[in-house]
Amino acid sequence: MLSQFLQFLFSGVTVGATYALAALGFTLIYNASNVINFAQGEFIMLGGMLAFFFMQSGVPMPLAILLAIAIPALVGIALEKLAIEPARDAEVVTLIIITIGASLVIRGLIQIWLGKGTHSYPAFSGSEPIHIGGATLLPQSLWVLGITALVVVALWYFFSRTLAGKAILATSCNPLAAQLVGINTQWVLLVSFALSAALGAIGGVLLAPITLTSYDVGIMLGLKGFVAAVVGGLGSGLGAVVGGLLVGIIEAMAAGYISSAYKDAIPFILILFILFFMPRGIFGAQVTERV
């Protein structure tokens, strides 16, 4: 009984950590530019697929992982520079379609380059499961949780203790005022996109040995990351992390106890209920609209 519960909890927290990273990516870009980046899921896919490709081509694992995070970051920069910046003043729907177009391009290119197959690579430190209270935990899950925790702490430090981080925060509060005090808002946008792409890619690199990866995993992972960001309250960093873990755990519990066929529907049912009763998510600020 307890062992089953623990098992579901472990798998929920592991996937939830990836959702949290994706949600943080959504949050970063949303705060910097008010854009919901529907290509966020493709960065998760890129991380996993690139790591697979480099390892298969004989690149040592640490370097392969580094490349699999750096390249998506560059893609993120290119996306901002080439597609988002020229359309800065467009309506929400228009920007959503631009990012969806970008996700199609990324997914299509990977499909042509690496094929439609499902891939995986060995876990970072063996796959001998650890037994805890009758449930098993994969070492890779510890990697996922550990790295996610590290990333969250690093982000917290970056945003609250460094000048660059504070410049980004300032820009998200009020771009015009930030510009007036001398912050290069152009640069803030670029950093946000690079950082958020890297976050997604880290999630993808970490998760691929557990859940496998293919050219089309980005859609669902990305959408669930979006759900996680909204659950926590769009724009809140803490909310994104809590939202990600919450979505992951509830999804795993519902899949285990209720119906595994409806696993993918659970996050969306959850978000509808949350939005019905808490229109701004759990951690969302109450804003008063000025007329």
Partner 1 sequence: MSALKRHYALIVLATVLLLLPLVLPNNYYYDIVIRMAINAIIVLGLNLLIGFAGQISLGHAGFVGIGAYASAIFPTHFGWHPIFAMLAGAAIASAIAAIVARPIFRLKGHYLAMATLGLGIIIAIVIKNEGTYTGGPDGMPVVALGLMGFEISGEKQWYWVLAATLLFSFWASKNLIDSPFGRALRALHGSEVASQVMGVDIVRYKVAIFVLSAFFASLMGSVTAHYIGFVTPNIADFFHSIELVTMVVIGGMASIYGSLIGAVLLTALPQALSTFEGWETVAFGSILMLCMIFMPKGLVPTLAARFGRNDGEPR
- Give the footprint of partner 1 on this chain (CB under 8 A): 30, 36, 83, 86-87, 89-98, 100-105, 107-109, 111-112, 219, 223, 226-227, 230, 234, 261-262, 264-265, 267-269, 271-272, 275-276, 279-280, 289, 291
Q: Which two tokens stand for residue 162?
A: 């460094």
Nearer to partner 1, 205 or 251 (CB): 251
- Return the number of the residue (181 or 261) whose C-beta is nearest partner 1: 261
- The sign of the CA dihedral 113, 40, 196, 245 is negative
CB 147 within 8 A of CB 6: no
Pick the closer one to partner 1 by CB: 86 or 129.
86
At closest approach, how far in Å is the CB of 229 from partner 1? Answer: 9
Instruction: Kindly state the smallest distance separating residue 265's Cβ from partner 1, in Å.
Output: 4
What's the closest the beta carbon of residue 261 comes to partner 1, in angstroms? 5
At its nearest, how many Å lie between partner 1 and the CB of residue 111? 7
Minimum distance from residue 202 beta carbon to partner 1 (Å): 24
Q: How far is the CB of 277 from partner 1 (least distance, A)?
A: 8
Rounded to whole angstroms, the Cα distance separating 222 from 40 reads 6
Is the Cβ of residue 62 or residue 279 nearer to partner 1 in the bound state? Answer: 279
CB nearer to partner 1: pick between 105 and 250: 105
Nearest approach in angstroms of CB 134 to partner 1 is 30
Considering beta carbons, is residue 89 or 128 the nearer one to partner 1? Answer: 89
Query: For residues 44 and 65, which CB has a smaller minimum distance to partner 1 in the complex?
Result: 44
